[in-house]
Amino acid sequence: MSAHWIAPSILSADFARLGEEVDAVIAAGADLIHFDVMDNHYVPNLTIGPPVCEALRKHGVAVPIDVHLMVRPVDRIVPDFARAGAGFISFHPEASEHIDRTIELIREHGCRPGLALNPATPLEYLDYTLEKLDLVLVMSVNPGFGGQRFIPSALRKLEAVRRRIETIGRPVRLEVDGGVKVENIQACARAGADTFVAGSAIFGSADYAATLRAMRAQISAL
Ligand code: DX5
Ligand code: ZN
């Protein structure tokens, strides 16, 4: 794995051929598989849950599964995802009654905790949590759907989170999620992101390997 990770979001994959789709992006060089969980409650859409995560593991997916929970409540579902083979589990602070408890719960179940910040969510949520996190997910769209347009203020937010991560002296991944494509991935990397979620830009392209190569070329041309 390189210092920069690309995490294709299977939200934009062909769900009727999910195993093949995941194999294809891994063969194309994906570092993580981003797994969007939506509950038609915290966000106005409904997607996939622990059985699908477990099925991907049984299918042979060896790269970490990066579970992005857009659900309320959060805690009930965490042990199920740990059992299903999740690597990272990120959640939205607004969706948890007790943020610190949820972080501990994810860690206790052997997964790596992440906090997901919506475009209008302030960074104060990191004040007492950053030292316990393995990942900060900066949303560059409002959560709920793939294929939305990148919100430019996410770049300033990435810069600010990167500055905070530098002060704590332990590795925390900085992930950007929403509207990321070949044309703006370099700006995200320059702002400090090291982990890049892309759904429609990858699964909507004809050649996944070519798209991943183009994204990596943009990042390394920084
Ligand atoms: C949005 C999801 C994203 C989404 C990204 O709520 O969290 O992970 O799949 O899709 P694109 O890359 O198409 O914006
Ligand atoms: Zn996501």
Measure the CA–CA gap between 151 and 180, rounded to whole angstroms.
Answer: 10
- Counting atoms of ligand 1 from 1, which one is nearest the CA of 150? 14
Give every strand in the sheet of 173-177, ordered side by side: 5-8, 195-198, 173-177, 135-139, 112-117, 88-91, 65-70, 33-38
Report pLDDT digits (tens) over 24-48: 999 999 999 999 999 999 999 999 9
How many domains is the chain partitioned into structurally? 1
Pocket-forming residues, ligand 1, beta carbon under 6 Å: 9, 11-12, 34, 36, 68, 141, 143-144, 146-148, 177-180, 197-201
Report pLDDT digits (tens) over 95-109: 999 999 999 999 999
How much of the chain, in percent, has pLDDT values that exceed 90? 99
Question: Which of 6, 10, 11 gets mutated to test ligand 1 (max ligand atoms within 8 A of its CB)?
Answer: 11
pTM: 0.98
| Amino acid symbol at 78 | V
Domain of residue 50 covers 5-220
pLDDT of amino acid 71: 98
Report pLDDT digits (tens) over 138-165: 999 999 999 999 999 999 999 999 999 9
Q: What is the mean pLDDT of residues 207-218?
A: 98
CATH of the domain at 144: 3.20.20.70
Measure the CA–CA gap between 182 and 174, rounded to whole angstroms.
Answer: 18
- Distance in Å, CA 138 to ligand 1 centroid: 12
- Distance in Å, CA 106 to ligand 2 centroid: 17
Closest CA to 131 of 172, 192, 70: 172
pLDDT of amino acid 2: 59
- Distance in Å, CA 43 to ligand 1 centroid: 13
